[in-house]
């Protein structure tokens, strides 16, 4: 008998369980009970049947759909004895609902969650290009849906490049394949103007990948508009609600993404007829307008010519009147010229006479002329003396004579 430490024994048990007994892990079916989430990232629940219970532990990001008590599921994981607690549990790697009832219940739970988050909101859905040059196809190349889509696409509109990515559409690898393909086209948007995600019909379990949270969120996050055509018209998956456009079948998806060349040709021909008719009508209307405009111009030109002739006659009459006025003005100028030739002599004679008369008047008013006759001008303090009372006895006065001046003193004043 070998002695072990506790750590050695727990390690031995886990190695035996994971390497020798269950090297590929385990898949166990049962009913979920006592489900709880801790700190928003750890999950615990019991997996039970009529006789036993099994503790299960995992992380929320390992879940592909919400869980609740009473849900019948199949878990995939590894059995483990936890070192710190010594408790045995299965570390869950993946959970899948089992049975029609459980699948429907898981579908409803996830649908409500995604709807609350706005993944189904019609406002965010994008319009598809009318004439896509490149189509990205995510499908199984081994499926009838793949060949049906390409056949309908070629019949309707052959001038389109199809870039396809092969994926598993059911089974354990389907979700990862589809998410990877959608991420590839989002990383290379130049490869597709529109994406088509498609597969044929099947049971609810067959379509489980298209009801997974990962695929729904990948469709929601796609940088390229997505058309989903899964199953038959009656089939309904979560990605149908998330997609920008839902097609009822894979063939309907081909009808949605490209137009029908016959319908386009007929529409083009109809448009051509309408354009020709519109052009003919427009040309006829323009010719009518031009003819009307020519007539209006003719009337305008004739009116202008008539007005010009009237103005020409008025101008001739005005010119004759102007010539008469010029002749009259010429005669008036001749008379003025004759008057100007004699006017200077008479004017000079009159001015000379007036100048002589003014000179005689000025000479008679000149004080010097009065002084020559024996009169004198007496000044006191530089001003003419007109009143004897303006000077006192003994005051000095200046007497201006005809020739020279005399200074004197006042000896007597007689008022």
Tens-digit pLDDT profile for residues 300-340: 888 888 888 888 888 888 888 888 887 888 887 877 777 66
* Length, in residues, of the chain: 415
Mean pLDDT of 104-118: 87
What count of Cα atoms within 13 Å lies in the side-chain half-sphere of residue 51?
0
Q: CA triplet 305, 311, 315: central angle to 5 degrees?
A: 140
Mean pLDDT of 228-242: 86
- Give the C-alpha separation, 118 to 181, whole Å: 23
Residue 230 near residue 259, CB atoms below 8 Å: no
Asked whether the domain spanning 122-259 has the same topology as the one spanning 6-97, the reply is no
Q: Is the pTM of this model over 0.95?
A: no
Mean pLDDT of 186-196: 95
- Give the residue with greater pLDDT, 222 vs 346: 222
Residue 120 near residue 114, CB atoms below 8 Å: yes
Write the CB contacts of 110 (distance below 8 Å, at least 6 apart in sequence): 65, 66, 211, 213, 216, 238
User: What are the extents of the domains in the chain?
Assistant: 6-97, 122-259, 288-362, 370-409
- Give the C-alpha separation, 13 to 199, whole Å: 44
Q: Give the sheet arrangement for strand 396-400, strand by strand.
A: 383-384, 377-380, 396-400, 405-409
Fold classification of 122-259 is: Rossmann fold (3.40.50)
The pLDDT-based confidence of 45 (bands split at 50, 70, 90) is: very high
Residue 26 near residue 76, CB atoms below 8 Å: yes
CATH level 2 (architecture), domain 6-97 = Beta Barrel (2.40)
Hey, how many other C-beta atoms are within 10 angstroms of the C-beta on 8? Answer: 11
- Give the residue with greater pLDDT, 347 vs 182: 182
Q: What's the maximum distance between 2 C-alpha atoms anywhere in the chain?
A: 187
- Give the C-alpha separation, 200 to 67, whole Å: 28
Q: Provide the pLDDT for residue 96.
A: 83
- Give the C-alpha separation, 279 to 15, whole Å: 86
Residue 353 has pLDDT above 90, yes or no: no
pLDDT in tens, 237-290: 899 999 999 999 999 999 999 998 888 888 888 888 888 888 888 888 888 888
With CA atoms as reference, report the closest residue to 46 among 26, 66, 67. 67
The three-state DSSP-derived secondary structure of the chain is CCCCCHHHHHHHHHHHHHHHHCCCCEEEEEEEEEEEEECCCEEEEEEECCCCEEEEEEEHHHCCCCCCCCCEEEEEEEEEECCCCCCEEEEEEEEEECHHHHHHHHHHHHHHHHHHCCCCCHHHCCCCCCCCCEEEEEECCCCHHHHHHHHHHHHHCCCCEEEEEECCCCCCCHHHHHHHHHHHHHHCHHHCCEEEEEECCCCCCCCHHHHCHHHHHHHHHCCCCEEEEECCCCCCCHHHHHCCEEECCHHHHHHHHCCCHHHHHHHHHHHHHHHHHHHHHHHHHHHHHHHHHHHHHHHHHHHHHHHHHHHHHHHHHHHHHHHHHHHHHHHHHHHHHHHHHHHHHHHHHHHHHHHHHHHHHHHHHCHHHHHHCCCCEEEECCEECCCHHHCCCCCEEEEECCCCEEEEECCCCCC
Residue 67 near residue 73, CB atoms below 8 Å: yes
Residue 42 near residue 92, CB atoms below 8 Å: no
Query: Residue 11 forms beta bridges with which residues?
Result: none
Q: Provide the pLDDT for residue 50.
A: 85
């Amino acid at each position: 008998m070998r002695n072990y430490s506790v750590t050695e024994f727990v390690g031995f048990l886990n190695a035996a369980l994971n390497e020798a007994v269950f090297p590929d892990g385990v898949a166990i079916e049962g009913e979920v009970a006592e489900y709880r989430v801790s700190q928003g990232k750890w999950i615990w629940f019991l997996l039970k049947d009529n006789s036993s219970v099994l503790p299960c532990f995992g992380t929320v990001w390992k879940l592909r759909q919400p869980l609740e008590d009473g849900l019948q599921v199949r878990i995939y994981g590894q059995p483990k004895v936890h070192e710190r607690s010594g408790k045995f549990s299965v570390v869950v790697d993946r959970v899948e609902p089992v049975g029609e009832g459980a699948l429907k219940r898981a579908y409803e739970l996830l649908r409500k969650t995604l709807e609350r988050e706005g993944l189904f909101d019609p406002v965010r859905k994008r319009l598809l290009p009318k004439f896509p040059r490149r189509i990205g196809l995510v499908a199984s190349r081994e499926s009838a849906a793949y060949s049906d889509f390409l056949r309908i696409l070629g019949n309707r509109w052959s001038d389109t490049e199809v870039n396809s990515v092969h994926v598993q559409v059911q089974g354990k690898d389907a979700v990862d394949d589809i998410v990877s393909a959608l991420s590839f086209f989002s990383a290379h948007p130049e490869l597709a103007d529109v994406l088509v995600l498609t597969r044929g019909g099947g049971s609810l379990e067959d379509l489980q990948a298209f009801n997974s949270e990962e695929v729904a969120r990948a469709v929601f996050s796609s940088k390229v508009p997505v058309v989903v055509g899964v199953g038959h018209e009656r089939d309904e998956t979560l990605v149908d609600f998330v997609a920008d456009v839902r097609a009822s079948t894979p063939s309907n998806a081909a009808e949605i993404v490209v137009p029908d060349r016959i319908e386009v040709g007929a529409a083009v021909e109809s448009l051509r007829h309408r354009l020709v008719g519109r052009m003919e009508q427009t040309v006829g209307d323009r010719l009518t307008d031009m003819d009307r405009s020519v007539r209006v111009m003719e009337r305008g030109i004739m009116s202008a010519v008539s007005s010009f002739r009237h103005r020409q006659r008025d101008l001739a009459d005005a010119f004759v009147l102007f010539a008469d006025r010029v002749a009259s003005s010429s005669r008036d100028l001749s008379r003025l010229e004759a008057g100007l030739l004699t006017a200077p002599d008479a004017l000079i004679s009159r001015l000379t006479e007036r100048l002589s008369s003014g000179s005689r008047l000025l000479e008679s008013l000149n004080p010097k002329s009065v002084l020559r006759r024996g009169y004198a001008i007496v000044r006191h303090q530089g001003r003419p003396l007109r009143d004897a009372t303006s000077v006192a006895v003994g005051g000095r006065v200046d007497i201006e004579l005809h020739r020279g001046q005399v200074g004197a003193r006042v000896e007597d004043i007689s008022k």
